[in-house]
Amino acid sequence: MLSEKYRHIVIEGPIGVGKTSLARLIAQRFKAELLLERPEDNPFLEKFYQDTARHALPTQLFFLFQRIGQLRDLAQRDLFETMVVSDFLLEKDRVFASLTLDEEELKLYQQIYRHQSPRSTAPDLVIYLQAPAHTLMERVQRRAKAYETAITENYLRDLNEAYSRFFYHYDHAPLLIVNTEHLNPVDHPEDLDLLLNQISAMKGRREFFNWSE
C-alpha cells in the first residue's frame, strides 16, 4: 500500500497550484497526519503583496521560523506509527527568498537559514505540482483570499520559473513532477485515483506525470 511505501509525503508547487487541497485529500484517504503551512498566521503577508520591496524580509523570516518550528516538532514524532502528508519543503523557502529579497537582505536571510534550519531526514516522496501562470492566476482569483488580491500573473510567472530551477536540481528525495493543467485531483475523484496509481507505480527517483484530456 502507498501508506506503507511512503511514510512522509510532501506536496509542493507555486501559489494556486492546489498543493494544500491535494495534501488534505491524500491525508484523508490514508488517515494520515496533516502538516500544513499557515500563511494566514503571517501578519506581513498582505502587506508584502501590496509593497513587496518593503515587506519582503519580515514576511520571509516569519515563514522561515514558522516552518522550522513545524519541522522540529515533526522530527520528534515516530513516522513508523503515523503517515504524514505536508504541503511544504523547508528548502523551497529559499525559492521565495531569492525571488523577493535584495542582495543584502538575501545574505542576512541565508545566514539565518544556515544557523537555524534543523537537521531532518528527507521525505520519502516529494510531489511537485506544475501549472502555467495563467492557470495559477485563475485558481488564485477563484479562491478569493483577501491577502492574495494583489498577486499578479507576472509574479506567478516568475515564481513558476524559480520553482522549475529549484526542482531541476533537487535530489534529496524521490520526486514526482505532475502537470496539473488538465488534471484536477481536488474536484475529480477519478483524477485523484490516477495520480495515486502513478505514485504507487513509481520505480525511479524522478518521474513525470503529464495527463492530457
Environment class of 189 (CB within 10 Å of its CB; exposed 0-12, middle 13-18, buried 19+): exposed
Question: What is the rounded CA–CA span in Å between residue 205 and residue 193?
Answer: 21
Per-residue pLDDT of the chain (213 residues; tens, 9 = 90+): 676 789 899 999 999 999 999 999 999 999 999 999 999 999 999 999 889 899 999 999 999 999 998 888 777 665 557 889 999 999 989 999 999 999 999 999 999 999 988 777 789 999 999 999 999 999 999 987 878 888 999 999 999 999 999 999 999 999 999 999 888 888 889 999 999 999 999 988 999 998 765
**What pLDDT does residue 80 have?**
57
Number of domains the chain is built from? 1
- So which residues are the catalytic ones? 87
Residues across the chain: 213
CATH number where 161 lies: 3.40.50.300
Please provide the DSSP assignment of 106-143 as one string: HHHHHHHHHHHPPP-PPPSEEEEEE--HHHHHHHHHHH
Q: Do the beta carbons of residue 163 and residue 15 sit within 8 Å?
A: no
Q: What predicted TM-score, i.e. pTM, was given to this entire model?
A: 0.92
Nearest residue to 125 via CA among 63, 209, 210, 183: 209
Range of the domain at 168: 2-210
